[in-house]
Structure 1
Amino acid sequence: MSQDTPYIFDASTLNFDQTVIENSFHKPVLVDFWAEWCAPCKVLMPLLAQVAESYQGELLLAKVNCDLEPDIVGRFGIRSLPTVVLFKNGQPVDGFAGAQPESAIRAMLEPHVQRPAPAEEDPLVVAQELFAAGHYGQAEAALKHILQDDNSNAAALILYARCLAERGELGEAETVLNAVKGDEHKAALAGARAQLTFLAQAASLPDAADLKSRLAQNPEDDEAAHQLAVQQLARQQYEAALDRLLKLFMRNRSYSEGLPHKTLLQVFDLLGSDHPLVTVYRRKLYQALY
């Protein structure tokens, strides 16, 4: 699982004080405590690497294989995996346990890590990064500038529609998506349409607390399980929703004419084939099918 770069490296008992503690006096060091058997660790690791690379050297990422480094695990009292700890000036200053979305990771890092000096970046890339970080209003403003110069820019139109959808303008978002021409951005268009579908469905469903209460009384309430997954998707709780949908599929794959399977495929469209959660759950779905 190791693809080291100058900013990303393995830490061991032998080099931890040098690579993590000493380095943290110069740059913040994010430490990823993981193990080979831990599936959420494998979802999180490429996401952490992507975030670390985006800081262009202003953040270091150290990976600790807990099976190989029990002394470090004991030293920091690590009880569950994955656990991620941010070190600064020789001390742990923040962190989290369990797989987290990119937006939550960046929000945790923001007070501690200096942003790299902005380069002359592609405005669309800037808008995509803002959207990924959950700054929908800023992303929308950046996209409006792009579309003023080129109102047929398909990638900008699709992302603009997703920004509109996130603030509840589903009809307007649908109109924008209908203006996208050509097949070049077919996958992104399918993902945006899936997002609209989940947001529209969630608006007409019982709220999450009621659905959780139903499932507590009857864990095999298939309707409540699917509806809760849709509510979670509308709130971008993708891992929880994928896990719920897969369990529903394995328990009753024919529910509502194969709805769990169809919904899983919609989520894969929404997240995109390169997303680490899609890699994990596509494999799990394949194993369940065959």
Structure 2
Amino acid sequence: MSSPYLFDVTTDTFDRYVLENSFHKPVLVDFWADWCAPCKALLPTLTTIADSYAGELLLAKVNCDEEAALSERFGIRSLPTVVLFKDGQPVEGFAGIQPESAIRELLIPHIGAAPEPVAAAPEPADPAAEATTLLDTGAIAEAIALLQQAIAEQSSDALLLLLARALGEHGELDDAEQVLGAISKPEQHKEAISQLKTQWVFKRQAAEYPAAELLTSRLASDPHDSEAAYQLAILGLARQDYENAMGGLLGLMQSDRSYADGAAQKTLMQVFDLLGGANSLTIQYRRRLYQLLY
């Protein structure tokens, strides 16, 4: 079923796309499997319900054959099982086939009734604005679906730039690079393209490093472990936790300025360019860097 509010999640993406999104709007999670005929019968009903809320309810799918860890994590014993997440917690759910009316009644205490449908509802006037809002609230899969549909109807450099950003945040860096290559007038978007590529450099670096928990443990055992400090800062930059990452880089400069031929200072300068000179974090940390240097 095609819907801008429907997306797949895996063990690796569940916390970000379901739990984090559920602090902004409820997320209905459909635990299913390809061999499960009732699952296939239920999905159109769930999609219709999600569409009726016009973006106020998201619908995620978990393929239990491929994501057994999620099934164990939430104690899934039969399929289909549907669970509603809100504010990071499961708040309601049911197993098996349920009529649409019963599912809607179950949702009302948590999200209210769906708005009454209106005839011939117009398409969004500005898909770029809607996609930007989705990205800013962490609904990346929704933004990708919306942008791909909009570009299929009428492409533009602005939409391609947003799609590249969305794909990059989704971890699809090679696809994101290809989308940037399709921009017809890159010189007009030079700064934005440069910022995206810098962010992707951090993501590619981070993919080669140990998990944050291990690096944190190493620093707890040895506060002078410069490699762990630097790699932890890069992991922070990859997930756009700029303030903590910049603080870590500045701390590394204070303790080991020459580490990796001044990598901490060079990386800080990259972050300043990424965020822009007017950004409050750039202003704050540039001042602290200059105080340290001079």
Where on the TM-score scale, by shorter chain, does this alignment land: which range? 0.5 to 0.7
Identify which of 276, 287, 293 aligns with 1:289: 293
Identify which of 264, 271, 275 aligns with 1:267: 271
Correspondence 1:246 to 2:244: no
Is the CA contact 1:229–1:241 (under 8 Å) kept in the aligned structure 2?
yes
With over 3 angstroms needed to count, the CA separation of the structure-2 counterparts of 1:125 and 1:249, relative to structure 1, is farther
Aligned equivalent of 2:167: 164
Correspondence 1:182 to 2:195: no
SS at match of 1:134: coil
Q: TM-score, normalised by structure 1?
A: 0.54
Q: Distance in 2 between matches of 1:125 and 1:268?
A: 26
Task: String of CA shifts for 1:218-269, please: whole Å, max 9, x gaps.
Answer: 1121111110011112222221111101111233333212211221223233
Aligned equivalent of 1:217: 221
Is the CA contact 1:124–1:156 (under 8 Å) kept in the aligned structure 2?
yes
What 5-or-longer segments of structure 2 have no aligned partner? Answer: 1-86, 88-110, 112-123
Aligned equivalent of 2:158: 155
With over 3 angstroms needed to count, the CA separation of the structure-2 counterparts of 1:287 and 1:155, relative to structure 1, is farther
Amino acid in structure 2 at the alignment position of 1:233: L
Identify which of 143, 150, 153 aligns with 2:147: 143
* Distance apart, 1:208 and its partner CA: 0.6
With over 3 angstroms needed to count, the CA separation of the structure-2 counterparts of 1:133 and 1:286, relative to structure 1, is farther
Task: String of CA shifts for 1:125-184, please: whole Å, max 9, x gaps.
Answer: 222222111111122223223423443x33322221221122221111122223333322
Aligned equivalent of 2:198: 194
Correspondence 1:231 to 2:225: no
Is the CA contact 2:218–2:225 (under 8 Å) kept in the aligned structure 1?
yes
Is the CA contact 2:206–2:234 (under 8 Å) kept in the aligned structure 1?
yes
What 5-or-longer segments of structure 1 have no aligned partner? Answer: 1-93, 95-110, 112-119
Q: Distance in 1 between matches of 2:142 and 2:280?
A: 26
Q: Distance in 2 between matches of 1:186 and 1:219?
A: 40
Identify which of 118, 122, 130 aligns with 2:134: 130
Amino acid in structure 1 at the alignment position of 2:209: L
Aligned equivalent of 1:258: 262
Is the CA contact 1:158–1:177 (under 8 Å) kept in the aligned structure 2?
yes
Q: Cα RMSD (Å) of the superposition?
A: 2.9
* Distance apart, 1:287 and its partner CA: 2.8
Amino acid in structure 2 at the alignment position of 1:143: L
Mean Cα deviation higher: 187-196 or 205-214: 187-196
Amino acid in structure 2 at the alignment position of 1:135: A
Is the CA contact 1:187–1:272 (under 8 Å) kept in the aligned structure 2?
no
Is the CA contact 2:128–2:162 (under 8 Å) kept in the aligned structure 1?
no
Amino acid in structure 2 at the alignment position of 1:166: E
Q: Distance in 2 between matches of 1:169 and 1:201?
A: 14
Quote the sequence identity (%).
Answer: 47
Q: Distance in 2 between matches of 1:281 and 1:150?
A: 41
Is the CA contact 1:188–1:272 (under 8 Å) kept in the aligned structure 2?
no
With over 3 angstroms needed to count, the CA separation of the structure-2 counterparts of 1:285 and 1:148, relative to structure 1, is farther
Task: String of CA shifts for 1:84-114, please: whole Å, max 9, x gaps.
Answer: xxxxxxxxxx9xxxxxxxxxxxxxxxx9xxx
* Distance apart, 1:190 and its partner CA: 1.5
Amino acid in structure 1 at the alignment position of 2:173: L
Aligned equivalent of 2:209: 205
SS at match of 1:206: coil
With over 3 angstroms needed to count, the CA separation of the structure-2 counterparts of 1:122 and 1:265, relative to structure 1, is farther
Is the CA contact 1:130–1:136 (under 8 Å) kept in the aligned structure 2?
yes
Q: Distance in 2 between matches of 1:288 and 1:158?
A: 37
Q: Distance in 2 between matches of 1:142 and 1:269?
A: 29
* Distance apart, 1:121 and its partner CA: 5.8
Q: Distance in 2 between matches of 1:130 and 1:265?
A: 29
With over 3 angstroms needed to count, the CA separation of the structure-2 counterparts of 1:141 and 1:195, relative to structure 1, is same
Is the CA contact 1:162–1:195 (under 8 Å) kept in the aligned structure 2?
no
Correspondence 1:173 to 2:176: yes
State the structure with more CA Rg. 2
Amino acid in structure 1 at the alignment position of 2:257: R
* Distance apart, 1:281 and its partner CA: 1.8
